A and B are shown apart, each in its own frame.
Chain A
Amino acid sequence: MAHTSLPVRATRLAIGPLRGWRELALYGGLLALMALDLYLIFVFAPTERVQGDVQRIFYFHVGSAWLAFVAFFVVALGSVGYLWRRTPRWDYLAVGSAEIGVIFTTLTLATGSIWGRVVWGVWWTWDPRLTTTLVLWFIYVAYLALRTYLDNVATRRRMAAVLGIFGFVDVPIVWFSVQWWRSLHPQPTILQQGGGMPREMLVTLLVSVATFTLLYAVLLRQRFALERAADQAAALRDLLRAQAEIGG
């Protein structure tokens, strides 16, 4: 009897050299936006009267935090999608987004810590917003750790998806922690009545957030393609091994 196998779909990998005007526009646009953002942060935005130049870290800090929240939302989205459809691409989306989220939560904590050292005089304080952000970091580090401790691919994807949804419960708690508990951490300034900051600062902040969002999209796209390529490579490797065993 002829031995056949489930087909391994050969798909074009999205990593490698730039292809076409779309990719050129994407990367070119990101680079241009980053350059503009740096100009706005270091030249256009006014120096804060009390804190001085260190306040400019605010634009990186808020951008990173925003990106991390978006990333963890996408983890939850990918997790729901995987449990619903059971197709690997939802899992690629979740794991890629979780890694980016962890990196940018680390940057949020680091930039916040540097800023806090100058403004509050301490590197760290057990403030509710800081504490819950640290907790958030631990939850998604645990998410990535869980994946490495489960050998079976299907089990790994399923369990990670469940944790991706369960862990996301903590995100709103972090978001609302400032309202719920007395905090040293400032309130969201954009949302305050009458606006809490000069127009130049607000524009710079919004461009920063847009830049970080585009950076996230580009990183996620690459990470998704990498995860898919790794999965296909593993499938091909197993297929070759199985064929070698049958042939032998």
Chain B
Amino acid sequence: MGGSEAPGFAIEVRGLWVRLGRLDVLRDVTLAVARGERVGLVGPNGAGKTTLLRALATLLSYDRGTVRVAGYDLPRDGQAARAAIGYAGHRPHLYEHLTARENLRFFARLYGVADAEARADAALAAVALTHVAGGRAGAFSRGMQQRLALAAAMAHAPDVLLLDEPDAGLDATSVAHLPDAIATLCPHATVLFSTHDRAVAQALGARVVELRGGVVAKDASSAERVASQAQAPAGRGSEPPSPAHQAGGQVVVSPPGRGDGGQVAPLPAQHAQGQVVPSPPGRGETPAVAWSGEVERRPLGFFAAASALIEKDLRVEWRAREQFPTLLVFTLLLALVFDMAFVIPAADAAAVAAGTLWGSLLLGSTLAGIRLFAAEHDRGTLAGLLLAPVDPSAVFLGKFALLVAQSAVVGMVQLTVLSVLLNVPLLNAAMLAALGLAAVAMGAIVAMQSALIVSARARELLMPLLALPLAVPVLLASIGATHAALGLTPAGTNLPWIGLLAVSAAVFLSLAVVLYPHTVHT
């Protein structure tokens, strides 16, 4: 089924009402954007431009009205819609410790782009960043970061491109080159963007819609368009996004010049297939070549998404080294402080070792957990993940897995160090089993609580307050299992504790996976 059967709208908004906190930011907004059309939103600060774009990008829920993007009803079909949407906000959703190419490859992979590597290279070329493809995004200038963020938004060839002030931070040459980049990477995309500069809107060949005080102040055509569309509902609700066509569960976006059913696509003529697109003059960069292949998007499975996230987190941690070394030293230091605070008779060394080991590990993982989520939240990259068509629980599972891996490695080091310092035989199979289960249970609790408070004030202070009481059963069971493993309690008392650890791990992890999506949807 092709996308050219009915004219339809790529974006259809009726009576949209958004309240943020206690203020009505959008009031009864109605807007219709035809497929392939470009619309520029203008208006003063606080007009509601960003809110409208965020609502369309599924980042905000709304109070009243209906919203349909790329043929999908929001919020019901949010996940399907996200696959067809590309969004670049005020803050670039980039990982500063990853290179430009790695950033683009990661986002292309999250959207299920089959050949993410090639697509990343094409996107880099389109925004004239090929010469710095191996450079870390954090070292880029504001303008380069903005170009990279725009490339990331277009890397999966979205059907609807939502850009919040795409010209912010760009020099005049880059702004002039923006239409070419869009034409190269997603030639059929419907583009809705906000800008303070009407000249930019005109340069992009866009229809201008003015927002003021949360209402559409000037837009002659949308209300009539929506009304006329309502009278001719043929095909609506079953149309796939245009110009993509769906085949066997995957979405194939045709390159320019193929299979477009005459939709509005006001692009410069030079963007025919395979044609060279000039790069901005004076930068000495490799000329960009228009994308000449098909972009295949296959919905990414739950575990494939989680593994992509884990791989990304491991790579970031390997480069940044901002968590693991600190966590390791911190837990060792805690063990040292505990042991120095008490005079330990040799006979009590085993009992002290158990408390020291698990107490320090729990405190350490509590702080590591909040950092893991805070880093993603503060850099704005969490919003980037939530924009992708992946199950939010997969995002949780990725963070959780990294936290468990960190805690397990730190626990192993602790077991070794305390065995030596306290002369207690802690390295045995029973202790390793307890460590594995405790790491999972503590990881689930800590990751869940971190997700809850990542946007709270004084979150580092709040974190232990939330996580430690819930972790008490895990702590008690771990200490009980250690006492049994060290022979402090009668033989056979180990199993109930291991059982309690296993039950705690299963209950807390299951609940966290189910509840996590509720913590991220705004």
Contact = CB atoms under 8 A, between A and B. Distances in A.
A131 B475 CA distance: 13
Interface in B327-363: none
Contacts of A246: 213
Interface in A1-17: 1, 3-6
B469 A159 contact: no
A169 B458 contact: no
Nearest to B466: A142
Interface in B485-522: 496, 500, 507-508, 511-512, 515, 518-519, 522
Interface string A158-191: 1101110111011001000000100000000000
Contact of B470 (A145, A167, A234, A242): A167
B28 to A, nearest CB: 8
Contacts of B312: none
Interface stretch (B17-25, B35-43, B285-293, B365-373): B17-25
Contact of A170 (B213, B465, B469): B469
A133 B24 CA distance: 44
Contacts of B151: none
B519 A149 contact: no
A72 to B, nearest CB: 13
A149 B457 contact: yes
B224 to A, nearest CB: 17
Majority secondary structure of chain B interface residues (helix, strand, loop or mixed): helix
B456 interface: yes
B469 A142 contact: yes
A159 B519 CA distance: 6
B459 interface: yes
Contacts of A167: 470
A142 B465 contact: yes
A135 B24 contact: no
B519 A158 contact: yes
A246 B456 CA distance: 31
Given A142-B462, A159-B452, A162-B452, 4 more contacts: A138-B468, A146-B466, A238-B21, A246-B213
B234 to A, nearest CB: 32
12 contacts: A5-B24, A6-B24, A138-B465, A145-B465, A146-B453, A146-B456, A149-B457, A152-B21, A163-B449, A166-B511, A238-B23, A242-B24
Nearest to B217: A1
Interface residues of A, number: 41
Given A1-B215, A3-B213, A6-B63, A149 B507 contact: no
B433 interface: no
A138 B522 CA distance: 28
B489 to A, nearest CB: 11
A149 B22 contact: no
A5 B496 CA distance: 59
Contact of A166 (B27, B457, B459, B512): B512
Interface in B254-283: none
A135 B507 contact: no
B448 interface: yes
Contacts of A159: 452-453, 456, 519
Nearest to A169: B507
A151 B465 CA distance: 18
Which 8 residue pairs across A and B have the least CB separation, nearest first?
A238-B22, A138-B469, A149-B456, A139-B469, A142-B466, A159-B452, A135-B472, A142-B465
B473 A170 contact: yes
Nearest to A163: B452
Given A1-B215, A152-B21, A238-B22, A146 B452 contact: yes
Nearest to A150: B456
Contact of A149 (B19, B64, B453): B453
A38 interface: no
B127 to A, nearest CB: 34
B455 interface: yes
A162 B396 CA distance: 14
B470 A6 contact: no
Contacts of B23: 238, 242
Contacts of A197: none
Contacts of A169: 470, 507-508, 511
Interface in B205-222: 213, 215, 217
B27 A153 contact: no
A132 interface: yes
A3 B26 CA distance: 11
Contacts of B458: 149
B17 A6 contact: yes
Nearest to A236: B22
A155 interface: yes
B470 A166 contact: yes
Interface string B433-462: 000000000000000110011011111001
Nearest to B514: A165
A218 interface: no
A165 B448 CA distance: 12
B71 to A, nearest CB: 26
Contacts of A165: 511, 515
B518 A162 contact: yes
Nearest to A162: B515
A239 B19 CA distance: 12
Contacts of A35: none
A169 B506 CA distance: 12
Nearest to B503: A173
A247 B173 CA distance: 42
A239 to B, nearest CB: 8
A239 B468 CA distance: 40
A173 B346 CA distance: 34
Contacts of A235: 22
B492 to A, nearest CB: 15
Contacts of B63: 6
A66 to B, nearest CB: 21
A122 interface: no
Report which residue of A131, A158, A159, A234 has the largest number of chain B beta carbons within 10 angstroms of its beta carbon.
A159
A113 to B, nearest CB: 19
B469 A135 contact: yes
B519 A151 contact: no
A146 B462 contact: yes
B472 A149 contact: no
Contacts of B453: 146, 149-150, 159
Contacts of A173: 473
